[in-house]
Amino acid sequence: MRTLLALALGWALLACSSAPSPSPSTGTPPDTSGGTSSKLTVTVLATGQAEAWGMQWPYQLLRLQEDGKAAAYAQWFPPRKEGTWPAMLLTRPYDGISWTGEAVDAKWAARGAGLHPDDSEPHYHEGSSVIAYAPVTPEAVAAESFFFLYHDFGVLAVFGRFYAGGDLQNDVDDMHAGFSFLAQAPGVDRSRVGIHGGSWGGFEALYAAASAPAEVRPRVGVALYPLSDFTRQQDYLSAVVPSRVSDPVVRSQYSMFFEPYLRRVFATTGGTPGASGVDSTRWTHEYLAAAVDTPFLVIHEDWDSLIPVEQTRELASRLGQRLTPLYFQHPGAADWDTRALDHGVLVSRYGHTLDTLATSHLLTRLGGDTQPLYVPVLQSSLVEWLREVRALQASGRDVSDVAPRLRELTDPRVTLVELSDGNRAAGVDWVAAVVNAVWGTQYTRDTLRDALASGLPR
């Protein structure tokens, strides 16, 4: 997806022009680091210049140490302009990093990309399932953060390091350390901080927002198909999956896939929900309903076999206006015996559109009142998805969640950038043309926004 953008804008993705400096420094580096406090110690492990999309992005590789907790690791792109600017915290649970100085990262880096025994704890034993390891470079993080960097945002990618073991609390602690850093980092407008993550990273985004320091509560979040309630997920695996999956081979695939996750869950809660001594109360929708004050956009597909869409529907009912759901829907029911273990056919097929909607949601809420905002779009993907939406609408399905997302793209600040050829146009003109093509309407830039405020065309 991001590679297409390089072609679209005519910017070549090049290798990093200068290698990271290996000399760590502890304390307050000039101008760009949050330094130390009684609660957080920041160590700059390396610095560098990542070249992405033909531009230079200075970064720091950080160790973030909060008192009484394991160290967290992050890549920080400070705002490049003077003054204060918005910042994004990106949850990255699976990225493999090799620059921490910890033995566990060196071990996994030596193994290389692929499937390996999940033997860095918790509670690994003979027969435990393997997990995937995928190393990431600072340049790749810069490339994937491009649309926030381009708008002069600070970007903090926090690495959850799933492969290193840990548990639920450790993952949330990692993200909390990221927020503690943003709470003191120079150049950050602490009233305009966002958070974004998907799947396990969506869990990290929701629960980190719930426990973020008071001085840097995120203004907006996007969670893609997040695991939001661990008691309900256990019920899904123990009761729902056996009730709808009859093929024993497919059932065993579920068991193998989720075994590493359940070990991490039980390492925090103490075991299966309801068993003696087990406490799952902090990892439920009830907890989130009481603790989350950040408004979230949550995108989920109804054929998700890993995290059932019912999790988001139930969470939405509890959070009310704090959660804006967008459901990618199929016209029929899934055949769960043949469904792959993934987050769904549609979120994969329309990944460009999902990226467009998530990016616009974050930029329009964090960007300046008159700041031009550039949002990526692949028109062919958007049109095909909207044709499916129109078919659902015609069959009587509720698609009322779509119009507000389209209306967001018509914000006067938004320019859409076509990924296939680099063409740019005002969002309102682009969306008017797409809606007119799909619904046969004749909206103009002067009439479209008001029309979408009432919903999709009929």
- Residue indicated by tokens 């022009």: 17
What is residue 404's predicted lDDT score, i.e. its pLDDT?
98
Q: How confident is the model at residue 375 (pLDDT cuts 50, 70, 90)?
A: very high
Beta bridge partners of 440: none
What confidence tens digit (pLDDT) does each residue in 7-65 have?
A: 333 322 222 333 343 334 334 333 333 333 349 999 999 999 998 888 899 999 999 99
**Interval 283-312: pLDDT, tens:** 999 999 999 999 999 999 999 999 999 999
Q: Taking the complete model, does pTM exceed 0.85, yes or no?
A: yes
- φ, ψ of residue 124 to 5 degrees: the values are -65, 145
Output the pLDDT for position 121: 86
Residues 197 and 158: their CA atoms lie apart, in Å, by 10
CB 339 within 8 A of CB 303: yes
Spatial CB neighbours of 181, under 8 Å, sequence gap ≥ 6: 34, 40, 42, 62, 64, 74, 76, 156
Superfamily of domain 2-371: Alpha/Beta hydrolase fold, catalytic domain (3.40.50.1820)
Report, in angstroms and rounded to the nearest whole number, the Rg of the chain calculated over CA atoms: 22
Q: What is the pLDDT of residues 179-211, one digit of tens each?
A: 999 999 999 999 999 999 999 999 999 999 999
Residue-wise pLDDT tens digits, 310-352: 999 999 999 999 999 999 999 999 999 999 999 999 999 999 9
Ramachandran area for residue 19 (φ above 0: left; ψ -120 to 50: alpha; else beta): beta
- Please give the pLDDT value at position 126: 86
Is the peptide bond preceding residue 122 cis, with omega within 30 degrees of 0?
Answer: yes
* Assigned token pair, 181: 């850093």
For the sheet with 424-426, list strands across it: 373-377, 414-418, 424-426
**What integer pLDDT is reported at residue 28 of this predicted model?**
36
Residues of the chain with CATH 3.40.50.1820: 2-371
